Amino acid sequence: MQKDFFYYYLRSMRLYYCFVTGMTTLAGTVMAHAFCGHPWGWQDAVVLTVGFFAWGVNQIFSDWCDRQEDSINAPHRPMVSGKLSPKPALILSTSLMLIFAAASYFASPWTLLFLAIGGGLNLCYSKLKKIPVLNCLTYAMAITCCALYGYSGTCGVLPGTSCILPFLLILPAHFLMCSFSYNKDKEGDRRSGIRTLQTLYPDRITLPGHWIAGMIYTFAIFHFTKSGEDRLTVIIFTIAAVLLLSKLIFLLEKEKYHPAVCWNCMLCVCWLCNLIIPFFPGTIILAPLSLLIIWLIFRWYPDEKE
């Protein structure tokens, strides 16, 4: 029984999304080194570990709050299907979040601010799903807190005005990722009264609109990063982002929502990697490795309703 509990707890964490929060945290960390000149140390290990796992741990709380909508949109999720008992799962997540908070405090007390804001926004997101655009914006702000968390944990101070633009460029990646994800939930969202662009407008309007928005964002990142030393890498990553975006739109158009979830996740990570290139040359190795691992983990989730 205990083995089954941990198995379904890990499934509920949806580990492929951990690369999204982990890469966002890394973005904040490498910017801290670039702008503060802070040497790499144990603080980086702490914030990157927490940044990678905290979203999945917090997802247990979200699944509990969203169980009514999930009974329609994702009826096979362990908490909805009864395979994951809510009480011990919530206790474990609470304990882990307290451990994360304590470890983060030792890295820098400022990290607790962004842990609290990010966790609070994630819970607010569950309550704001019925408001179009604001729902995606709330989610995007919650995940962008990972970058602020990574920066403050590494430097021990709040980000300065000199790095506002990189942080602002992180936000659209998560906004678009959230909006893309609503395509698979259109039917359940309509029945639950949740208002998204996908429930308000037909695919012939939303999909081209999302493709255009994604392309504009892709080339905005390219404009930001092209002046660095790794110009060839930036060009390669930009081409990869365009291909991932186009493939994602194709899958959504064909209503192949299950593989679209995987491509949506990989696209967001690709965008984030492109932003990190000027600050962290090792991205050229980290990016394809991350995309491969996401694809492999996603094979553990053969059901789009989970």
Q: Which two tokens stand for residue 149?
A: 């968390």
pLDDT at residue 12 tops 60: yes
pLDDT at residue 304 tops 90: no
Task: Find out whether 176 and 214 touch, Cβ atoms under 8 Å.
Answer: yes
* pLDDT above 90 as % of the chain: 47
Q: What is the DSSP letter of 40?
A: P
Whose structure tokens read 């308000």? 200
Listed residue (176, 2, 188, 179) closest to 77, CA to CA: 188
Q: What pLDDT was estimated at residue 281?
A: 82
Alpha carbon 301 to its chain centroid, in Å, reads 17
pLDDT at residue 1 tops 60: no
pLDDT category of residue 306 using cuts at 50, 70 and 90: low
The DSSP string of 198-227 is HHHS-HHHHHHHHHHHHHHHHHHHHHHHTT
Q: Which two tokens stand for residue 9?
A: 């707890």
**220-268 pLDDT tens trace:** 999 888 876 678 888 999 999 999 999 999 999 999 998 999 999 999 9
**For the chain, how long is the longest CA-to-CA vector?**
55
pLDDT at residue 203 tops 70: yes
Whose structure tokens read 């602020």? 148
Residue 41 CB neighbours (<10 A): 10
Mean predicted confidence (pLDDT) in 144-154: 92
pLDDT category of residue 146 using cuts at 50, 70 and 90: very high
* pLDDT above 70 as % of the chain: 97
136, containing H or E segment: helix 134-155
The residue extents of the domains of the chain are 2-298
**152-188 pLDDT tens trace:** 988 888 887 777 888 899 999 999 999 999 998 887 7
